[in-house]
Amino acid sequence: MAHIFITGGTGFIGTHTLAQLAQENHTVSVLVRSSSRWEHICKELGWSDSADSNLSRIRPVIGDLGMSGLGLSHSDREKVLTADVIIHAGGPMDIRISEAEARVVFLQAAEEMLRLAADIQLRGGLKHFIHVVGFKSPWTNENMRNPAPVIAHLEEGPPYELMKCLADLRIREGAQELEFPLSIVHPSVVIGSSQHGETPQTGGLGILVRATARGLMSIVPGGSTHWLPLVHVDHVASFINVLTKEASPPPTQTYYLLDDPKASPSMQELVSMIAKELRVRKPHGSISPKWLSKILGTTLGQKLGIPKESLEFIVKTSNPFPIAPKESLLHKHKLPNKVQGELLPFTMADLDFQLVHGHMPTEGFVRGKRGPLASLERRGTGLRTTEVGLVRSDSELRLAHKSPIKQKSTLLFVHGTLSGADCLLPLAAQFPEHDVCLVDLPGFGRSPYHHAADVMEGHIAALVEAIRAFDSPVTLVGHSLGGLLAAHAYARVPERIHRLHLLQPALQPAARMYRSARLNQLALRRLREKDLRKQLLAQRCFVDISDIPTSYVTYVLQELQSPRVRKTTAETLSALARAEMLPPQQQAELLRKASILWGTQDRALAEELRSAHTLEIGAAHHFPISHPELTAQLLRQQGL
């Protein structure tokens, strides 16, 4: 197996590449700026000193691409000089970077990487240099012989692309001089994983999503004659991984990670798709990217907030890209490559979420997907629990490790309106012994909208499909709207639900004031922090001001910045105000199965909804959010 030195290992592509390399038996040295950054990445990848052998093979070396000698200590440089494969994927994804900064992190870094490669050559030979650049780099074996005209053209563009392309040229020249095998990987615009679509890198497709959300894409750059090439980040990582396995790579080979434009959405189709997912008006015209670039370069363009540099990645569908080398390697290793069309709505919803919320910490939970719903998931410890948590004494812990309990069913949490999966994380965290999954309902959080004609039916069908995505029956915990949907889901797939717990379920119609979806949407658009707090108290969601978590208020106000969430919330509230009670037979069956927690500070629970499994507590409607520890304790008492 190889010893690999990788730069950019803590970036979007790099972390996915590390996850791929961890499945092999390579020794990997990762250039990182600080130990704390490395610890953060290890947590994200689920690696720990006690539980994972990856850390014995994958180790950080502290340094910086922008420093002389990469900022490596003598001992770390000696370690890196034993590498036989280099993956150079470092550099920021910031298309508005200054020329001075771009020169340091791209061109100067390329020179440092070549010095390192030369030293490795002297020590025994570099087997493979893999350079990750970008599909707009123009270099070929032919035009490298006379680079001046190409450079002159590049200088007309943004410094970001200029310096990236000059770094590509310099490493190509260095490979010829030093005679080491070079693979140049040109990803197109990188989007989220093909598994769930999460895209924390918002500078690419995210620019288009943000502009569409703001209503600035009524006229599409390029229309049907242009496209935005996309590639899943895990596909890029898989491709880099297989390159490290090539025993005899060609002297120099360029791989363009692009799909066939004929089988990909045009700009017109892509923006229309984004508009549909964000629930805003679709575009009705097109404009030449060159003309738009001129407009964006003016004062008007600065006010619009769309960087003209972003247009660099929109290309004509007629532009040829040599993808045969990529296709050959993919076929050889039987790798997937094409963008998963059904995942694009998840990517767009996730980008919409990232753009309004920024980074949302989800300690211990990872992104996932269950059927049509985005999820946050965590594997449980499997340890025995007492009424208030894990077993307490050291002897009990040792006994628990020796005699693991039978695997519990997954806890599936479903949120209410003005909420999302993140809002129930404090509650879910109270059950460390369980496998836990929290889903965002359609059109909320990170989940794409269902687009069904009937709002509530679409929500119910999506939840049922998510439940069916589990290998075994789940323990379903629904709050408010989530409780109502959980009740309907149980009526449809009782065999897929092990236990049913309803927290302040919306089994009675909401107030008539919410019947108009249009008025709801207008009110939500105008909602400010002071008004939100007042409404939460007026609707008996919380007992008093001190009962309202600041993080919850922040979440709601940020969430409602999204036109997708705002419209979905407005229509869902309208549907709840018009909802009918459950049919008597379905209600009777529900009360036999479900355990209900009801806060008496909200309106009174209807007598027909009481059962032997109903527990009333002195709390308001949102008690699972304001009092997660108490809620967890009561759920345990009810047999969760």
C-alpha dihedral sign at 212, 213, 215, 216 = negative
Task: Indicate the range of 39-53, 321-335, 406-420 predicted with least confidence.
Answer: 39-53
Q: Please, where are the H alpha helices in 66-201? A: 74-80, 99-102, 109-123, 148-154, 159-178
Would you state the pLDDT for residue 395? 32
Percent of the chain residues topping a pLDDT of 70: 94
pLDDT band, very low/low/confident/very high, at 369 (cuts 50, 70, 90): very high
1-187 and 360-512+581-637 agree in CATH topology: yes
pTM (2 d.p.):
0.90
**pLDDT tens by residue, 438-474:** 999 999 999 999 999 999 999 999 999 999 999 999 9
**pLDDT tens by residue, 520-541:** 999 999 999 999 999 999 999 9
Average pLDDT over residues 118-131: 92
Task: Indicate the range of 90-104, 192-206, 403-417 predicted with least confidence.
Answer: 403-417
Cβ neighbourhood burial of 416 (10 Å; 0-12, 13-18, 19+): buried
Average pLDDT over residues 507-517: 91
Would you state the pLDDT for residue 296? 79
**pLDDT tens by residue, 264-285:** 999 999 999 999 999 999 998 8
Phi/psi for 466 (5° steps) reads -65, -40
Residue 417 scores a pLDDT above 50: yes
Q: Which amino acid is at 260?
A: D
Would you state the pLDDT for residue 580? 82
pLDDT band, very low/low/confident/very high, at 381 (cuts 50, 70, 90): confident
Listed in sequence order, the residues at least 6 apart from 92 whose beta carbon sits closer than 8 Å to its beta carbon are: 105
Would you state the pLDDT for residue 42? 86
Retrieve residue 37's tokens.
């950054």
Q: Which residue has the tokens 């200054």?
A: 98
Would you state the pLDDT for residue 406? 52
Would you state the pLDDT for residue 407? 59
Listed in sequence order, the residues at least 6 apart from 72 whose beta carbon sits closer than 8 Å to its beta carbon are: 31, 61, 62, 63, 80
Listed in sequence order, the residues at least 6 apart from 510 whose beta carbon sits closer than 8 Å to its beta carbon are: 573, 576, 577, 579
> To the nearest whole number, what is the mean pLDDT of the chain?
90
Residue 50 scores a pLDDT above 50: no
Q: Please, where are the H alpha helices in 126-258? A: 148-154, 159-178, 205-213, 233-244
Residue 235 scores a pLDDT above 90: yes
Would you state the pLDDT for residue 397? 31
Residue 594 scores a pLDDT above 50: yes
**Cα 288 from chain centre:** 32
**pLDDT tens by residue, 387-416:** 333 333 333 333 333 344 455 799 999 999
Residue 422 scores a pLDDT above 90: yes
Listed in sequence order, the residues at least 6 apart from 471 whose beta carbon sits closer than 8 Å to its beta carbon are: none
C-alpha span between 293 and 315 (Å, rounded): 13
C-alpha span between 167 and 347 (Å, rounded): 30
Would you state the pLDDT for residue 504? 96
Would you state the pLDDT for residue 308? 73
Retrieve residue 289's tokens.
């990217």
Residue 211 scores a pLDDT above 50: yes
Q: Where are the domains of the chain?
A: 1-187, 360-512+581-637
Task: Indicate the range of 221-230, 299-308, 620-629 predicted with least confidence.
Answer: 299-308
Residue (of 158, 287, 306) closest to 226 by Cα position: 287
Residue 187 scores a pLDDT above 80: yes
Would you state the pLDDT for residue 203? 83
Average pLDDT over residues 414-421: 97
Retrieve residue 113's tokens.
């990487």
Average pLDDT over residues 179-207: 92
pLDDT band, very low/low/confident/very high, at 383 (cuts 50, 70, 90): low
- Kindly give the interhelix angle for 455-468 and 481-492, rounded to the nearest 10 degrees: 60
Residue (of 62, 77, 1) closest to 30 by Cα position: 62
360-512+581-637 is a CATH 3.40.50.9100 domain: no
Maximum average pLDDT range among 287-291, 389-393, 625-629: 625-629
Residue 329 scores a pLDDT above 70: yes
E strand or H helix at 626: helix 623-626
Average pLDDT over residues 130-134: 95
Residue 386 scores a pLDDT above 90: no
Cβ neighbourhood burial of 252 (10 Å; 0-12, 13-18, 19+): middle
C-alpha span between 491 and 494 (Å, rounded): 6
**pLDDT tens by residue, 554-591:** 999 999 999 999 999 999 999 999 988 788 888 888 88
C-alpha span between 217 and 221 (Å, rounded): 8
Average pLDDT over residues 146-163: 91
SS3 string, 327-381, reads: HHHHHHHCCCCCCCHHHHHHHHHHHHHHHHHCCCCCCCCEEEEECCEEEEEECCC
Retrieve residue 556's tokens.
């709601």
Would you state the pLDDT for residue 303? 67
Helix (H, G, I), strand (E, B) or coil at 87: strand
Would you state the pLDDT for residue 49? 59
C-alpha span between 40 and 31 (Å, rounded): 14
Would you state the pLDDT for residue 8? 93
**CATH no. for 1-187:** 3.40.50.720
Would you state the pLDDT for residue 169? 96
